[in-house]
A and B are shown apart, each in its own frame.
Chain A
């Protein structure tokens, strides 16, 4: 297993403008509370990382209760809606429309340059390293149109790409072209695209209503030794541990599974994946906490944390963020997994 640290300068506001994100979160909260009150059924679940049922209440968000696993320290929403109910939600949410119509267009250039292009380079580099002969890709990520477009421009015409996320048709950035097939597919039916060399699963591990279904779906579509490349939010990261239930990065239903590093390792082990790379190349942790401290300076922050965040200069904070990456303590995880 390896860890990659990325030296990158990216203010969070470039891809998540504060005002627009506030609007988005407010819309999502309203949509989701309405959704919960519509009489949909919720089901309790075990820890999506290690399957333990020993847990304590962590916090509540938008009407959902989050539990903290006493075994692997992952945090997860339970009870929660079913996968079908969630799909219904995403297809009718005003917040989702706002994301596609306002936030994505406004941040497209910054996202492409700072998030998508490096992510595409990583995908290609990982493919070169572990499966250079691989040619077929199924994408099941959310909001992944930019990534797929970047990959097609980088790797085409050698690769065939199928956008098979269950909301692939909603991702308005998709521009059907010769190399791209858009076929929204439920996780239980992913195997109809089998066998493929790569599954791209960015921003779905934390969103999946049934994480086992996601991993099993990925395994079912992958050829032997195929690669699943994924990204997800991690609860063991600095900003989420510090801000916990007050974090603005936790907003259901997009963050149902907040795994810890331990939880990810256990999830992969029990679903038949070898971890080739487990990095936390997040770049926002220190900035997010700094903003929270500045917004509420009289809150009882630990003294050292307050000193670090408010008194130290940018170079120290950059060094601190690099430290978080190096020791897998940032709150964004990037995974290269090989099907066993």
Chain B
């Protein structure tokens, strides 16, 4: 039985606790959150307000780090140095330096596993798309394009969120949400060698970006484009993948509120000479509609296998987190010139 401590009992911490309780082989042994009111809502397990005290008192096998970004590195490092495996929400801190601290602690504690919450990899449309790519029937990926954005909510509440306080979050919508799409780009295309980014604060009164436009090129030559936004008044998740023999479009996300729409995957085959009735550019399509999101469970189950079988973490690993943070930091470096006045973009090799 893997004894689990959840540190940070906000939106994500509560999801993680529910997943842990639903899976065989895991036992929730404690919750830690400085705000007693939220901690009181949890199940019958000890709760703490200080994460150091919680880790030392419970000596968990696995610690879920669901804290704001500025706390994530130090909590991860303490958990690792105390002998606990770590599952940390994305982003893995505020900067490359933060993830490097976590990697150093991972290396210093041989055998302990670290995984990050890039759960979009396990959404049903993405799993289906991955199987199609791996099956090879549509050929190689030529390009990939993603739009991921939210409305920021009603009124001015969005502006008060810690997610828009750079001292806590380290960045804006790109780091908070766009990171998922960049992680998916890497999942499908491998590492990127070049990135150009442009971002701005276009609407909200916040000191971080509320929109980012990013162009990338992978080491294999695949081109990618991302729009990450906090001003999409209709919540949107859309990932298009252009391939030699067809294309796929993942649209919508199964989520707690359903606000991103029903999750679908469109698969179209490029019209061939053997399809005399079809007009080039107007292919037949299959649209898969998904009913169930098991992404939270699948990722935690994989973490359990890594721990119990002493397997290396290959999915959502520290390297995955490092690579995606390097992309984001590159964009932030470039766009530091852009905020408050557009500057010429520079191509930056990662």
Contacts and interface: CB of A to CB of B under 8 A. Distances in A.
Interface stretch (A72-80, A125-133, A213-221): A125-133
Interface in A124-183: 124-125, 128-130, 132
B286 A2 contact: no
Given A124-B137, A132-B131, A326 B286 contact: no
A30 B54 CA distance: 80
B131 A2 contact: no
Interface stretch (B36-44, B64-72, B288-296): B288-296
Interface stretch (A4-12, A249-257, A292-300): A4-12
A1 interface: yes
B309 interface: no
A128 B132 contact: yes
Given A124-B137, A125-B137, A128-B137, A4 B287 contact: yes
A71 interface: no
Interface string B119-136: 000001001100110110
Nearest to B130: A129
A122 B291 CA distance: 19
B97 interface: no
Given A9-B277, A129-B128, A2 B288 contact: yes
Nearest to A8: B284
B7 to A, nearest CB: 35
Contacts of A82: none
B285 interface: yes
Interface in B107-152: 124, 127-128, 131-132, 134-135, 137
Nearest to A117: B274
Nearest to B276: A113
A124 B275 CA distance: 20
A4 B131 contact: no
A197 to B, nearest CB: 15
A8 B267 CA distance: 13
B117 to A, nearest CB: 24
Interface string B264-290: 000101000001010000001111111
A69 B178 CA distance: 51
Interface string A85-121: 0000000000000000000000000000100000001
A132 to B, nearest CB: 7
The residue among B275, B289, B292 with the most chain A CB atoms within 10 A of its own CB is B289
Interface size class of B (residues with CB under 8 A): 20 to 34
Contacts of A7: 284-287
Contacts of A124: 135, 137
A20 interface: no
Contact of A5 (B127, B269, B289, B292): B289
Interface in A300-337: 326
Interface centre among A6, A9, A125 (most CB of B within 10 A): A125
Most buried by B among A2, A4, A6: A2
Contacts of A242: none
A186 interface: no
Contacts of A130: 131
A53 interface: no
Nearest to B137: A124
Contacts of B135: 124-125, 128, 132
Contact of B131 (A113, A122, A129): A129
Contacts of B277: 9
A1 B291 contact: yes
A225 interface: no
Interface in B141-172: none
A117 to B, nearest CB: 9
Given A125-B132, A125-B135, A125-B137, A5 B124 contact: no
A6 B267 CA distance: 10
A272 B17 CA distance: 30
B289 A6 contact: no
- Residue from B127, B269, B286 with most neighbouring chain A CB atoms (10 Å): B286
Contacts of A129: 127-128, 131-132
Interface string B62-82: 000000000000000000000
Contacts of B285: 6-7
B217 to A, nearest CB: 28
Nearest to A114: B277
Given A7-B285, A8-B284, A129-B127, A2 B290 contact: yes
Contacts of B291: 1-3
A326 B287 CA distance: 9
Contacts of B124: 2
Contacts of A113: 275
Given A4-B286, A125-B137, 15 more contacts: A1-B292, A2-B290, A2-B291, A5-B286, A6-B284, A7-B285, A7-B286, A8-B284, A121-B137, A122-B286, A125-B135, A128-B132, A128-B135, A129-B132, A326-B289
Interface of B: 124, 127-128, 131-132, 134-135, 137, 267, 269, 275, 277, 284-292
Interface of A: 1-9, 113, 121-122, 124-125, 128-130, 132, 277, 326
14 contacts: A1-B292, A2-B128, A3-B289, A5-B288, A6-B284, A6-B286, A7-B285, A9-B277, A124-B135, A124-B137, A125-B132, A128-B135, A129-B127, A132-B135
Which 6 residue pairs spanning A and B have beta carbons closest together?
A128-B135, A129-B131, A5-B287, A3-B289, A7-B285, A128-B131
